[in-house]
Structures are given as structure tokens and as C-alpha cells.
Amino acid sequence: MALPVGVGHGLPPEFAHLAAAAAAAAAPNGGGHGSGRRGFRRGYDANGGPGALPSADDFSIDSLVALVGGTPASQPITDAVYQALFQLDGRSCALLLKDLSKAGMQFRATELFDWIRALDEGHPLQSLLDVYSYTAMISLCITEHDVDRALKLAGEMKSKGIERNVHTYTALMNVCIK
């Protein structure tokens, strides 16, 4: 899948280098889109700065969670994870959101999901907003007992034409009863 680079997709110019790195990572032999926990590459070194692209085996959802955990609370995580997001599909994104919550960073999961939701229509990362990522976010509303947010997300799914499944409705019921 060819990835459009920055311009025309709501990407600020200061992130153009990230989009270029993401496009390079998506080139042939650049890691498979939708390959789960280990199916994407990382363009950041251990310190979170721009670095060389290691092999896909060197990067996983777990290491992405660790990268987010090492990001100062005052800094948005989108700077750190932007490139890797291009290699995720909805299921991988949902896994990332859940793992962030399990690691005690639910606020970061919410920050990431809301940032993706706020991107311009047509932005390539909008494809991450599917039944899996929405259901994961609805499930995360259980711990906060945030019925209003869960219902809002379910309504947003309906308005965007994203089909709800049994897991979505189970998550909604759990938010309401727990």
C-alpha cells in the first residue's frame, strides 16, 4: 500500500520527516501492514529520537507501549508513535490501546485515539478507526465508568457507518453495569 506523504492530509509541515520515514518503512520489504504485534517498523532509537529503521523483529506493540511509557507526560505521544501508526491496522491499534491501558497509561490510549479521531477526513490514519479500535475504546470506558463516552463512541460508530458487533455491544453493557 503506497502511503501518501504529509501534504494534504492534515499533517503539519514539522512532521513531514516522520511521514517520509513512514513511507520508506512501507516500501517493499518494509514490514507488512496488518501483520499484528510485530508487523511494522520503528524509526526511533531507544531515546525516542529519529533513528535508523531496524528490522520488524526489533519492534512490537510491547516496545511501542514502552516508548509511550518513556515519553514525558507533558509531551504528546503522537510525536513518538506517528510513524509506527502507518504500519498498524485496526486490530493492531486496538491491541495497542488495550496494552497502554494495561500498563497504567489509559490516558495515553485515550489521547492517541482522540488524536486519530481529530485528523482530517481522508488522512491515511483514519483507517485505524474501525470496529476493533472503537470497541477497544468502549471497553476502556469500563474502568472509568464513563457511560457517556461509551455511548458517544457507539453513536459515532453508527454515524460513520462502522458496523457494531457482539463485542461492541458486550462492552457497552459492561460499561453500563460495572
Residue numbers of the chain with a pLDDT score lower than 50: 1-12, 14-58
What pLDDT is stored for residue 113 in this prediction?
97
Contact 36, 68 (CB under 8 A): no
- How far is the C-alpha of 90 from the C-alpha of 167, rounded, in Å? 15
Buried b (16+ CB within 10 A) or exposed e, 136-162: bbbbbbbeeebeebbeebbeebeeeeb
- Residue 121, H or E segment: none
Right CATH for 61-177 from 3.40.50.300, 3.40.50.720, 1.25.40.10, 3.10.450.50: 1.25.40.10
What pLDDT is stored for residue 33 in this prediction?
40
- How far is the C-alpha of 6 from the C-alpha of 16, rounded, in Å? 6
What pLDDT is stored for residue 59 in this prediction?
65
Amino acid symbol at 63: S
Contact 141, 147 (CB under 8 A): yes
Indicate yes or no: pTM above 0.85: no
List the chain domain ranges: 61-177
Tens-place pLDDT, residues 73-114: 889 998 888 988 999 999 999 999 999 999 999 999 999 999
* Beta strand spans in the chain (E): none
